[in-house]
Amino acid sequence: MKNKSLPTLNQHQARLGRGALSAALFSIIFAELYALFAAGARTPGVYQWLPGKDFFQVALVTHVNLALVVWFLLFIGMLALVSVVLGDSESPKWNSVGKAGILLSSFGMLLMVLAPFLGSHNPVMSNYIPVMNHPLFFIALILVFSGSALMLSYPFLAEAQKNSLQLHKEFSLGLKLSGMTFGLALICFLLAFLKLEGPPNTNYFENLFWGGGHLLQFVNTLAMVSCWILLAEYLYGESLLPPLMTKFLLISVLLAAFPGPLFYLLYPVYSQDLREGFTFLMRWGLGLSTITLGLRVLWLGIRKAEGLSWKNPVYTSLIFSVLLFAYGGLIGALIDNSDVKIPAHYHGVIGAVTLAFMGASYQLLPVLHRKLEFGRWISWQPLLCGSGGMLFVTGMFWAGSHGVARKVHGTMQGLDNLGKIAGMTLMGLGGLITVFGLLIYVAVMIKSLRKETESLGVSYDSSHHSRIEGVS
């Protein structure tokens, strides 16, 4: 079956997309570096050389922000920058907006990486966005948010130009809706900041980031399902659903997020009503789109299995993204206590988002005038990340079922029975497999981005090799 090819970006816009993608890849590298710092902070003979007595938590806060905030926002920014194709004459004018977004976000990322070595300590393990209570960290976070807002505004500015062309209609709509939802999240952060009083302690930051942190998950989900839509159509040769139904499902996510800022006008910022309101939105606002589109991805995958190969990293990224999201969602429905079943749930969901982004980066490389460099390991990469993620989540859920508490480490975990030990061991094994898959992904992408190729559209055939096609 011959698939349609994607429109191609001009050289200016392609360079812009490659810049955002490169910055996103560096966020993964820095995140894994801080994961090593966190391990070193608990290793005899190593921790003495690291700054600060609480460097384990400092490294953990930095790792979480780089892996779950900066990586997601930079990659979503890249998707937004390529979602609308401009003509050569229009591109330089509007690319300045994208360049400013990339630079601001990149400076914010670098400042976040350096901040722990410049005196930014005082870690606070708040939900969604843990922080260091230090001006350098907040400047870094504001820069990342500001740059992301510029990148996510790009499709609205670009589409107003007469020579613009959507990369893919439903995909482009999903990225615009993701940008609008990000705007709602920023409004929530601002309203919470204006209403909060008292000392900047754990409770303060918990309430500061509660509402906007919930809406960031809507942003990530919209970007993820937009990638599902794009990848599925170019793998299966047909749309997941009729365009009108797909648009309805995408818009339903934005509509579910819309009441978020209103909660700050209706309820006190410290109130349980406000907290439960955002929990309600996330519990019921994401299911319709993800379940419907996810089931269609799996159903079409079964129907067309003979024409697809598990050696194709785009296909395996898509399938494992759907399965891991479903697994994380199922665990979320089984949460009954504040234990490690909670991080098991969200690690499943964020792993699904990351796998969708990996598949999209493979698919979009030729649109960015680059070719995916296939090697011995590329076919294994999504399998490693997907299976490793499954093991990680399963182990954490198992440990939580035996009473292991969240946000503790070392002897405080109380690993005093076989169920707890087995669960956390399985989690560790899954984590190692996942990290290996991440390293392969970063290495392949860096190698691919360094090699120039012709500015041609892309589709994937049923084998693991990419097929480059000209745009007619």
Backbone angles phi, psi at 459, to 5 degrees: -145, 170
Backbone angles phi, psi at 26, to 5 degrees: -65, -30
Q: What's CA 291's distance to the chain center, in Å? A: 19
Q: SS3 of 134, please?
A: coil
DSSP 85: E
Supply the pTM of this predicted model.
Answer: 0.92
Burial of 423 per CB tally in 10 Å (0-12, 13-18, 19+): buried
Alpha-carbon gap, residue 443 to 9, rounded angstroms: 24
Is residue 285 within 8 Å of 256, Cβ to Cβ?
yes
Helices vs. strands in the chain: H and E counts, helices first: 15, 6
Alpha-carbon gap, residue 88 to 410, rounded angstroms: 57
Q: SS3 of 131, please?
A: strand
Q: SS3 of 317, please?
A: helix
Query: ∠ CA 346-176-266 to the nearest 5 degrees?
Result: 65
Residue whose structure tokens are 């807002």 = 149
The count of other CB atoms within 10 Å of the CB of residue 236 is 21
DSSP 84: E
Is residue 354 within 8 Å of 417, Cβ to Cβ?
no
Residue whose structure tokens are 């490294």 = 59
pLDDT in tens, the chain (472 residues): 344 578 888 888 999 999 999 999 999 999 999 988 877 765 556 656 666 667 888 988 999 999 999 999 999 999 999 999 887 666 666 789 999 999 999 999 999 999 998 887 889 999 999 999 999 999 999 999 999 999 999 999 988 877 788 999 999 999 999 999 999 999 999 999 999 998 899 999 999 999 999 999 999 999 999 999 999 998 999 999 999 999 999 999 999 999 999 999 999 999 999 999 999 999 899 999 999 999 999 999 999 988 888 899 999 999 999 999 999 999 988 877 777 788 889 899 999 999 999 999 999 999 999 998 777 788 899 999 999 999 999 998 888 787 676 655 555 555 656 777 888 788 889 989 999 999 999 999 999 998 776 544 443 333 333 332 332 2
Is residue 255 within 8 Å of 179, Cβ to Cβ?
no
The set of long-range contacts for 52-60, using a CB threshold of 8 Å and a minimum separation of 24, is 52/116, 52/121, 54/121, 54/123, 55/116, 55/121, 56/409, 57/123, 57/125, 58/116, 58/120, 58/121, 58/123, 58/132, 59/34, 59/35, 59/116, 60/34, 60/123, 60/125, 60/130
